Structure 1
Amino acid sequence: MKTIFLLFLLSYSVAAYAQIDDETIIRRNIADFSDAIVHRDTEAIANAYTPDASIFPNGFDIIKGTKDIKSYWTPRPGTTTTFHKIYPVEIVVNGSTAYDHGYYEVSGINDGNPFQGVRGKYVIVWKKLDGQWKIYLDIWNRAVSK
């Protein structure tokens, strides 16, 4: 009887784990992305994107591909990000493509000058590759407070 009960618990646990939905995974990826920025982990940042991804930072031309995206996210001397958080307003999953939009907030130090609470807005298009959600298109810019 114990064996049957343990098998039931094991199968229930596996089924519950397998049912983690795509939105939850994307939210986890968003949090991991912010963590990688704060910890200056350019490998993790670059790996968050698809190999053919494009980013659209405010004031720059379109930046495409892993090498150039990694270069963009490599912190410049004298620049430190102490806080980075993304606040999704909506996440929509449609098969192996998803998109989300919302706001971000960042604080840090730039050439010895601290900055706090810089806010902006963003849109991300996600692709599911080999079972993993990766950023395909990423556009953001500062939001002007009212």
Structure 2
Amino acid sequence: MSFDSIDKLNREFERCYNNGQVKEAVTTYASDGRLFATDKQVYEGLSQIEKYYTDARAAGNSKVELHTGQVIQCGSDYFIEISQYKINTDGGNYVVVWKKDGGQCKKIIDIFN
């Protein structure tokens, strides 16, 4: 895995989310992934993360852009991504811990502000 692999997964998340395919977008998360959102809640597991993003789209946050910044490899199976996002006209920073699982990377921790 590399910067290009993480960036490709970010493009997949964007495409699915922006097309209203939230369930497909959430497949970038591990089944036990955790999302630490700006509402100060922690969403654990795919169903809670999917609900968060479904509610975000329903609130009008329909377009996301992820700008992959730095990807740091930590051992053979973990990567830390430090990047920026834009949702509609708002934006911020995020950190994702990715874990290689069966040859594929999944988000296990996602925190943004």
Residues 63 and 80 of structure 1, relative CA distance in 2, 3 Å threshold:
closer
Determine the structure 2 residue equivalent to 1:25.
5
In structure 1, stretches of 5+ residues that fail to align are 1-20, 108-116, 142-146
| Residues 13, 26 of structure 2: 8 Å contact kept | no
2: CA distance, partners of 1:58 / 1:35: 22
What is the number of equivalent residue pairs in this alignment? Answer: 111
How high is the TM-score relative to the length of structure 1?
0.70
Structure 1 counterpart of 2:54, from 74, 77, 83: 74
Structure 1 position 46 matched with structure 2 position 26? yes
How high is the TM-score relative to the length of structure 2?
0.88
Structure 1 position 37 matched with structure 2 position 17? yes
**Runs (4+) off by over 3 Å:** 75-78
1: CA distance, partners of 2:28 / 2:61: 20
Matched residue type, 1:122: Y
In structure 2, stretches of 5+ residues that fail to align are none
Identity %: 22
| Residues 3, 70 of structure 2: 8 Å contact kept | no
Matched residue type, 2:31: P
Whichever of the two has the greater Rg, that structure is 1
| Residues 46, 70 of structure 1: 8 Å contact kept | yes
CA RMSD of aligned residues (A): 1.6
